[in-house]
Amino acid sequence: MGIVGYFDERARRLGIVDTKLAQAAAIFFVLAVVKAFPRIMQISIWWFTGLALLCAIHPLITFYGGGAAERQ
């Protein structure tokens, strides 16, 4: 089992509350970074939109894509 499989197996242990708490921690971390470096907010909104879409591609394909029954 490679490192990706190892972390995938560990992530499967997390419930919905744990996942949402991790998301909240990431949001608060980003808020702290923005507070420390306020010039980040001068970047065009389209960069943030593009990065959000780029980060959403894999989860969307995994969730809506075919072959989900094969992986179970």
Model confidence over 22-71: pLDDT tens digits? 999 999 999 999 999 999 889 999 999 999 999 999 888 888 886 555 55
* Residue span of the structural domain in which 33 resides: 3-71
- 14 Cβ contact partners less than 8 Å away, ≥ 6 residues apart: 22
Could you tell me the pTM of the whole model?
Answer: 0.63
CA distance 52 to 44: 13
Look at the chain and report how many structural domains it folds into. 1
How many angstroms separate the CA atoms of 33 and 5, rounded? 30
Q: How many helices and strands in the chain, by DSSP H and E? A: 4, 0
